[in-house]
Chains A and B, each alone.
Chain A
Amino acid sequence: MKIVVCIKQVPETNDVTIDPVTHNLDRRGLAGVMNPFDKNAIELALHLKDTATDDVQVALLTMGPDDYAESLREGMAMGADEGYLLSDRAFAGADTLATGYVIAQALKKVGDADLILFGRQAVDADTGQVGPIVAEFLHQPQITYAASLRLSGKNEVTAERLLEDTKQTLVAQLPAVVSVRSELNTPRYPTPRNIQLSFEKPLTIWHHDDLDLDDSRLGQAGSPTIVTKVYAPKPVKRELTPLTGTPSEAASQLIKALKGRQLI
């Protein structure tokens, strides 16, 4: 069985600021780390590898500049078997659609993935869209925000998904695309020794010409969306509505107000 976990490298902290002159995002000095949610997806893959009776190969795949190899190494230090880095200037500036396209094309080349895993979303852009986009491009079923997942038969997984107030149980025939919730598991730490040994595992870098790509769907040209403005959020100005009277009177004023806001 082959599992491919798609990961992203993100800035180490979300404390980003806007350059007051250029109005661009000031990313100076921000070290890249693996998107924390992606570690849950890797942990799920490694758990399946640890517990399955058949041999399970876990590959990692990411798209980004060359330093994204660090996150691949970290994932391999956690226990993944190999890594793929999709790196080319032509891929830069991609929105979720153009990103999903390159990843889907790369997954075709990796070939025979039974399970393609994603973290719930990246902590920088916070979209969670690439998983479903890839699933659509590969014509595979998707299970998003999985709260649990197990192999339930040959080529079959059973997963639970928590909607706002419903727990769904879903059964998918593989291959399938799954994105996972962070509460699914606690990712293991890479051990110091496995960090060293990860540098002996294969890391494949694919550039533009290594993949079968339609250039009009790449990078900025292939991205329907454009960011026109970036700004720091203004602090929310709140008008304090006092609740008055006895605790009981105040509580009933609150209940009325919350009902008006559809909060209860």
Chain B
Amino acid sequence: MPATTAAAEKLLLQMVDDYTTREISPEDMPMDAAGDFPAGFMQKLTDTGFLGIMLPQEFGGAGFGPEVTAAALNHIARGNASTAVTLEGHFKTIDQILKFGTPALQKQLLPSANDRIFAFSMTEASGGSNPMGISSTATREGDHWVITGDKIMITNGGLAQVYCVLVKTAPKELSVFVVDQDMPGFSFGKREDFIGLRGTPVGEIVMDHIVVDNDHLLGKLGDGGIIGDSAHDDARILMGAVLTGIMEHELKIATDYAKERKAGDKPLTELQVTHRKVADIAMRKETTKLLYQRAAQLKAAGQPYSEEAAMAKAHGSRAAVSAGDDTLQILAGYGYSREYPVEHLIRDARAMEIAEGTVEKMRSAIATAEFNK
């Protein structure tokens, strides 16, 4: 790595830490309580250039690589996992446009990714983990495509302005198009009221005969499955990073508390039950970190990373829930209190056992990859 790249990455993470401590962390508890981010919050994040961290410089972004981008989300999640997940949804979408969009589409769309949030939507009421079960369609009419359908549970749904949507272009053919909230026929539907990551908007979009040019197709017709898998892979690396951040937060809460408190006249730090829990939290954090870093490293090197990305998320999500549970137990009554963030960290982590593919699905993918070796 050139010295300037290392220096720039160091400065980026320093800035991210600084910004997280001052601007993002303090909003964590209020965002969980309100189920939303405060007014002006996204604008400040946008003005500070967070949306363009991994966007190439030719599109006005900063052009940071996969490893430091993941590390940045790791650092943000130490203070506020919802904000990190909002960025994760944006980054994975940009990644697919970079991988599959034509140069013309990239040139047209990507400069706006510095100040508009992008989202990737697959799920429908009729099909979550089974993409063939979806009913949204794109029908060719002359030079155009007409898209109709209803997408739900979209990370950043309602907040994002640009959406990659998985639709059927033939009964057995899945394709991905890019639509914009300003297009006629586009509207927002219901917003979910989830128990965790409550600062990340998750919602529905309704597409009623949206007309798009042919150049809004990502990749080729029928690439929908490939693009969807690719989006999952990219998202899972970043989720591994977010989960690492959550566990670092949990570990800090657990150790800070243990260093201050006594059980009877013995400090918590001298009790074996505390040792065991703190060591387990630390090991879970570190294994998840190594997994996401490994996946990001493979991605940066142009190697396959699908299996490692699945491991980072599958391992990390359960690890963060368990680490949260151990932290709660160390804090006992305080851990169970909503005045402390522990319970909401568990709820936040729990989301990632489901989002971007359930842990069950992830294990199937890992096992299949192993059988094929």
Chain A residues at the B interface, C-beta cutoff of 8 Å: 33, 70, 73-74, 77, 189-196, 198-199
Contact = CB atoms under 8 A, between A and B. Distances in A.
A189 B10 CA distance: 14
A192 B50 CA distance: 7
A192 B4 contact: no
A196 B62 contact: yes
A199 B4 contact: yes
Contact of B8 (A33, A189, A191, A199): A199
For the complex of A and B, the 7 pairs showing the least CB-CB separation, nearest first, are A191-B49, A192-B62, A193-B62, A199-B4, A192-B53, A192-B49, A195-B11
Given A74-B11, A74-B14, 13 more contacts: A70-B7, A190-B15, A191-B49, A191-B52, A192-B49, A192-B53, A192-B62, A193-B57, A193-B63, A195-B12, A198-B11, A199-B4, A199-B8
B61 A199 contact: no
6 contacts: A74-B11, A189-B15, A191-B48, A195-B8, A195-B11, A195-B12
Contacts of A193: 49, 52, 57, 60-63
Interface residues of B, number: 21
B100 interface: no
**Most chain A beta-carbon contacts within 10 A, residue among B7, B61, B63:** B7
B64 interface: yes
A18 B50 CA distance: 39
A118 to B, nearest CB: 21
B286 interface: no
Interface majority SS (helix, strand, loop, mixed), chain A: helix
B41 interface: no
B256 interface: no
A231 to B, nearest CB: 24
A198 B15 CA distance: 14
A190 B52 CA distance: 13
A70 B10 contact: yes
Given A33-B14, A191-B49, A196 B19 contact: no
Contacts of B11: 70, 73-74, 77, 190, 195, 198
Contacts of B49: 191-194
Contacts of A196: 8, 57, 62-64
Nearest to A39: B18
B19 A192 contact: no
B112 to A, nearest CB: 15
Contacts of B52: 191-193
B295 to A, nearest CB: 22
Nearest to A74: B11
Given A70-B10, A199-B4, A199-B8, A192 B57 contact: no
**Most chain B beta-carbon contacts within 10 A, residue among A73, A191, A194:** A191
B19 A191 contact: no
Interface in B182-221: none
A199 B57 contact: no
A73 B7 contact: yes
A191 B52 CA distance: 9
A202 to B, nearest CB: 14
A189 B18 CA distance: 9
**Most chain A beta-carbon contacts within 10 A, residue among B11, B14, B53, B57:** B11
Contacts of B18: 189
A189 B15 CA distance: 7
Nearest to A34: B14
Nearest to A200: B4
Interface string B136-153: 000000000000000000
Nearest to A194: B49
B46 to A, nearest CB: 10
